Structure 1
């Protein structure tokens, strides 16, 4: 629980005080370090587990590889993956390949990530293609992103995620005609993007849900009044700050 919440010092104190540490206990600590930006500590703990703890299992290596991905530890990730296969004779599952693809994608090694995917042959899943698409979007590789996005749409034409990411790739490059084509594809396939909700409230009224510019509450008048009052307290940024912060409005 403490590890999931990021309170790693307390989690480690409890872990160290345990008379017997099970595999899930080790896995939880390793994953906790990885999720909260302590990839090297996660790797150190894994090595401690090899020296004095129980034998690592498939889940252990998912935790370790995920930690390497979050910490940008490419060489260490490959070392762990190779050790899992050669030393522990664990056959990699889709989750392990997904972690490796995420690791390579975060490091900008999209070609390596793509090669890993194409060499899997029958083991390739929709989720793994999705990992490559997300990496393409993050690294601004529109050519690969377009290819993978269309591949995903062919595999599952009713899933909204690939449409959104593909549309974002086109929008980033100013390819508005292609953005419109993606919307038409969604319409033809009966796919609708879920409406995002945000809660807006004050001390006097209950939160009002707002979605994509549409007010979904009978108290819209009150909310708009509050927004108007906020606007009165806003000032135009100075020329210097507008260049520095991209023209964001400052609130006094």
Structure 2
């Protein structure tokens, strides 16, 4: 259920994580969005903060991203066992804390999707194609004038191949059907380590809205980062710096 615009939302209380499980988007939430997906900056503060959250919440922390799960892991520490769970590809793949990976099957049609996206990018300097395990995305942040061409091609490809069109911030993705960040949260809450806790989900994009709605449905809350819009979130943080500051304070409140 959409609550209304963000000017009606308050900042989350610092004790919100007591008795909770924490689910975090990555781009635009923990790190600033960069011109290229591979150009985001992860500093030592974020590494320490996530480690502190994992310890304070007894492991009840997971990242939920549109990025591939392995890519998120590489940004946040790498290694065979990341120490926390990651749902990648909008909840269509899971990298568990013990290193196990489960994922939907990659549709063969994504090869054709990628080829046609690459052809469009070649004709539009600044447009970039991101190949993912379960999708492909056209990024037009460096070529905003190509937005309509990207939208038209992505819409056509999703329709022709029976895939899902996933708009995002300055991108259009065509991906495997069936998952979203809300379903990812529900999957985590079925696991014993998360069972019986309130889900708190923090995200910034429209792709995070299913996560906000699911968190509320399961007795928790969503926290929207930044951009004013109609939302299912309960609380608001102004941007990445404010999110990191709040997470630090919320971690200290758990001590």
Q: Same fold (TM over 0.5)?
A: no
Where relative contact order (Cα < 8 A, 6+ residues apart) is larger, the structure is: 2
Say which structure is richer in strand: 2
TM (normalized to structure 2)? 0.28
